[in-house]
Amino acid sequence: MSDAGAQLSEEWEEVLDAFSLHLEAERNLSVHTVSAYIHDVLAFALWSAHSPVQVTPIMIRQYLTKLFERELSKRSIARQMSAMRSFYRFLRVVKGLQVSPVEAIRSPRLERRLPSFLYVDEIFELLNAPDCTQPLGVRDRAILEFLYASGVRVAECVALNVSDLRIDSGLVSVIGKGNRERIVLFGSGAKRALRTYLQDARPKLARMDELALFVNHRGTRLSDRSVRRVVDRYVEQLALVKNITPHTFRHTFATHLLEGGADLRVVQELLGHQSLSSTQIYTHTAKEHLMRVYELSHPRA
């Protein structure tokens, strides 16, 4: 076995190029996800002196031991093993491997982290924080209202164009992970905030030819990072002690729907989750909140 820094063989280069193309063209994964997969498999390729088709389960275990010795987190190691499993499933098809050397290897067991969310009074306080006497404040209010009302990912939010929005119907079409399109709903609070933004603020901010729904002070499309700064500004202003990110609005959206009695599969559809198990984690969050409310309010709790 060689250590990291070794030269990559032509065979590894060829299969990694083919794997990257497979992830992009056939599995329709994002550029960021493809890059992460290739990075993780490449790390193993540089460590191993063997052909990819000669790798054995023992070699995989030796590599895992090395990762543990480097004190990588369990989450990082599990992510690398996930990339390796995908890579060897691909090789079974293109190289005719009978057995993947990774299938028998267990990833480290991860503690399931419950997503953080905001209580109703906290989210309302945050929604009311922007100064709506200023165009940027009106924009910020519309962003916060829309994130909470729709549960969209921040990348989906900033990718929207004005033409995607159907305010009267409370509907918008978004392109989610894997380039999958879904219809998202939003309610009366977001409708009001978006109408005010489109009528009073966006014309003062956006360039004439700009298609983006949400724009920055230069009049061009807002970035993911800019939305993070918007959220950070109001969290700091209100001195909230929780770790709140744009994604917290998505967690809050799901938790509040389930607490209100929404069906789990409806929430799954609204969030754009392919697997129901991805949505089920919010039921634990909702139960924790209900228990906390019970303990605080019931005289015999």
Q: Does residue 242 have an active-site annotation? A: no
Q: pLDDT tier at 24 (50, 70, 90 boundaries)?
A: confident
* pTM across the whole model: 0.60
Q: Out of 1.10.238.10, 1.10.3720.10, 1.10.443.10, 1.10.8.60, which CATH number does the structure's domain 120-297 have?
A: 1.10.443.10
* pLDDT tens profile 88-117: 989 988 878 888 888 877 766 655 555 678
Q: pLDDT tier at 301 (50, 70, 90 boundaries)?
A: very low
First to last CA, the chain: 61
Q: Is residue 200 predicted with pLDDT exceeding 60?
A: yes
Which range among 20-29, 146-155, 281-290 shows the weakest confidence by mean pLDDT? 281-290
Q: Please state, for a pLDDT cut of 70, what percent of the chain lies above it.
A: 85
- Region 220-249: mean pLDDT is 88
- Region 39-45: mean pLDDT is 92
Q: d(Cα 249, Cα 254) in Å, to the nearest integer?
A: 9
Catalytic residue among 141, 202, 251, 273: 273
**Whole-number mean pLDDT of the chain?**
84
- Cα Rg, the chain, nearest whole Å: 23
Q: Please state, for a pLDDT cut of 90, what percent of the chain lies above it.
A: 37
Sheet holding 181-185, edge to edge: 165-166, 171-175, 181-185
Catalytic residue among 85, 192, 247, 289: 247
Q: Does residue 119 have an active-site annotation? A: no
Which residue would you say has higher pLDDT here, 147 or 71? 147
Catalytic residue among 139, 202, 250, 256: 250
Q: pLDDT tier at 216 (50, 70, 90 boundaries)?
A: very high
Q: Is residue 165 predicted with pLDDT exceeding 70?
A: yes
- Region 149-166: mean pLDDT is 92
Under 8 Å between Cβ of 225 and 156? no
pLDDT at residue 2 in the model: 44
- Region 282-299: mean pLDDT is 61
For residue 87 the two structure tokens come to 């890579």
Q: d(Cα 100, Cα 279) in Å, to the nearest integer?
A: 30
Catalytic residue among 74, 85, 177, 289: 177
pLDDT at residue 276 in the model: 66
Q: Is residue 267 predicted with pLDDT exceeding 80?
A: no
List Cβ<8 Å contacts ≥24 apart for 41-44: 41/16, 41/83, 41/84, 41/87, 42/8, 42/16, 43/4, 43/80, 44/80, 44/84
pLDDT at residue 284 in the model: 65
Domain 10-94: CATH architecture, name and number where available: Orthogonal Bundle (1.10)
- Region 26-53: mean pLDDT is 87
- Region 61-77: mean pLDDT is 84
- Region 265-281: mean pLDDT is 71
pLDDT at residue 282 in the model: 65
pLDDT at residue 196 in the model: 97
pLDDT at residue 5 in the model: 47
Which range among 99-113, 155-169, 190-204 shows the weakest confidence by mean pLDDT? 99-113
Q: Is residue 275 predicted with pLDDT exceeding 80?
A: no
Q: Does residue 250 have an active-site annotation? A: yes
If you average pLDDT over each of 102-106, 181-185, 276-280, which comes out highest? 181-185
Which range among 50-59, 102-111, 278-287 shows the weakest confidence by mean pLDDT? 278-287
Q: How far is CA 299 from CA 109, 163, 287, 291, 292, in A?
A: 40, 53, 19, 13, 13
Q: Does residue 182 have an active-site annotation? A: no
If you average pLDDT over each of 3-17, 21-35, 181-195, which comes out highest? 181-195
Quick one: angle between helices 135-150 and 224-238, nearest 10?
100
For the chain, give every domain's residue range.
10-94, 120-297
Catalytic residue among 139, 153, 191, 202: 153
**Phi, psi dihedral angles at 181 (to 5 degrees):** -95, 140
